[in-house]
Amino acid sequence: MSPTIVHAVVLFDGNNTHSDATVTFDPASGNITSVSTSSNGQFPEGATIIDGSGHTLIPGLIDSHIHVFAIHLPAGEDESEILRSPLRCGVTTLCDMHSDPPTVRQRWQAIADDLEQARKSNSTVSLSDLKSCLYGATIEGGWPKPIVLGHNPSNELKAFVETWPKVTVENAPDFVKNHKANGANYIKLMQENCCSLALPTDSIPVATLEMQTAVVKAAHAEDLPVVAHALSADMTEVVLKAGADGLTHTFVDQPPPQNIIDLYKQTQAFVIPTLAVLSSLTNEMQDWRDEFTEIARKKGLVNDFALQTMKESLAMKDSAAKLEYAFETIKKLRQEGIDVVAGTDSSAGLKGTGLGPSLWMEMLLYVEKCGMSVTEVLRSATALPAKRFGFDDRGVIAEGKRADLVLVKGNVTEDLRALWEGEGIVTVWKQGLKAA
């Protein structure tokens, strides 16, 4: 395979913007071989040359909170779309935040086969890359049992939930060691008392601070980052005190209390806001869901079932919960220098979400509702998640890093909407190979 050279392009390298850059990458190795912040017009013979004039090159996007299971899909729906639709949207890496290990292993194998076939036949790739915590550190009867079982669970689904881990203080080290041995990239805590939801508060068992601290201690001993689910301020307090490295949601039950802001500053934990799913939970921003559903339809990004799902809403909040509280919290955390990492909590069939397009909506919400600049938002979906999760091979455009790249018509560093408006994304490469 000959090298590919994109020149005369606006480059956002994951941290900074350069107005006239040249990037060379090798599809055979899958890596970037050189980055220059100027164009010299002299290229090696046999290289594939792409004139990037009028375009922006950015690192492949990372959605730091999704699920790759298919439990919300009706029988017969195409599970391969779980990994296909994000890649069409420039999302080259997905971070799964609780799925059964057999499903994750199946997805990993599909990704490996897709890459091998593309290299053998000099063709295109079609699946995003995947990181996973495998199962979260669930407790007997605890979260996310109520949302997975729903109103009318099948016996099969009940049996599936019974296979989840039943983590305790005593078995936390074994839980972590087994997960690491099975390929987990990080560990996830579940901290939920349902006070933000249309469910009675404390209607399910709630993990203790002692248990969560034990899991964090065990994970850090194995050099694994720890992230945590929490939808309320009091549950956020527990996992921050336990030492979690990041939160996989922000809370919607109240405005940001100063003690929570102080805990974030003290621990330097990051936050994955997941505003896309929170807006579905609180049944707000319907016009935004409609808009991005129409964008996805026009561009052929997702299938018909996903289009219908994207327009719907979970609508299962407690009466006091408001999305505005999430906006306020992210504004305050950002002002205090806390890292905001982009993620959506999308999964196939989950109302109000679409794997791929929801990340675009998420990112635009950061700009329009949380006061973040476009470059901050681009960083939140590229360099920052790579740094905070320890994905040292991606997230930035630099020599030696993976050639996970997205070429966009227009200057996306000035207007985020360039990702989807007009021609939008022109080409996606994963490990130097064009995406289908």
Question: SS3 for 66?
Answer: strand
CA separation for the pair 19, 361 (Å, rounded): 26
**Residue carrying structure tokens 């909506």:** 361
pLDDT at 47: 93
Question: SS3 for 103?
Answer: helix
DSSP string, 231-245: -SHHHHHHHHHHT-S
CA separation for the pair 162, 145 (Å, rounded): 9
Residue 378 reports pLDDT greater than 90: yes
Question: Which neighbouring-strand residues pair with 129?
Answer: 93
Residue 1 reports pLDDT greater than 90: no
Q: Are 251 and 233 in contact (CB under 8 A)?
A: yes
Residue 71 reports pLDDT greater than 90: no
pLDDT at 7: 95
Nearest to 352, CA basis, from 92, 63, 69, 72: 72
Q: How far is CA 112 from the centre of its chain?
A: 20
State what percent of residues in the chain have pLDDT above 70: 99
Across the range 68-93, mean pLDDT stands at 93
**Phi/psi of residue 70, each to 5°?**
-125, 25
Residue 50 reports pLDDT greater than 90: yes
Across the range 128-132, mean pLDDT stands at 98
Helix pair 258-267, 233-242: axis angle to 10 deg: 20
Residue 44 reports pLDDT greater than 80: yes
Taking residue 422's Cβ as centre, other Cβ atoms within 10 Å add up to 9
CA separation for the pair 169, 183 (Å, rounded): 22
Residue boundaries of the structural domains of the chain: 1-59+396-436, 61-393
How would residue 75 be classed by pLDDT, with cut points 50, 70 and 90? confident
CA separation for the pair 348, 70 (Å, rounded): 6
**Residue carrying structure tokens 């909170």:** 65
State what percent of residues in the chain have pLDDT above 90: 89
Average pLDDT for the chain: 96
Strands (E), 139-217: 187-190
Single-letter amino acid code for the residue at 88: R
Across the range 130-139, mean pLDDT stands at 98
Single-letter amino acid code for the residue at 184: A
Q: Are 45 and 35 in contact (CB under 8 A)?
A: no
pLDDT at 242: 98
Model's pTM, two decimal places? 0.97
Torsion over CA: 148, 275, 262, 318 (sign):
negative
Question: Which neighbouring-strand residues pair with 206?
Answer: none
pLDDT digits (tens, 9 = 90+) for 174-219: 999 999 999 999 999 999 999 999 888 988 999 999 999 999 999 9
Can you count the helices (H) and strands (E) in the chain? 15, 16
Residue 40 reports pLDDT greater than 70: no
pLDDT at 176: 98
Q: Report CA-CA distances (Å) from 69 to 99, 126, 135, 348.
A: 6, 18, 11, 8
Q: Report CA-CA distances (Å) from 76 to 72, 100, 143, 156.
A: 12, 20, 28, 16
Indicate the CATH number for domain 1-59+396-436.
2.30.40.10
pLDDT digits (tens, 9 = 90+) for 267-287: 999 999 999 999 999 999 999
Taking residue 361's Cβ as centre, other Cβ atoms within 10 Å add up to 26
Torsion over CA: 75, 79, 82, 85 (sign):
negative
CATH class of the domain at 61-393: alpha beta
CA separation for the pair 294, 222 (Å, rounded): 44
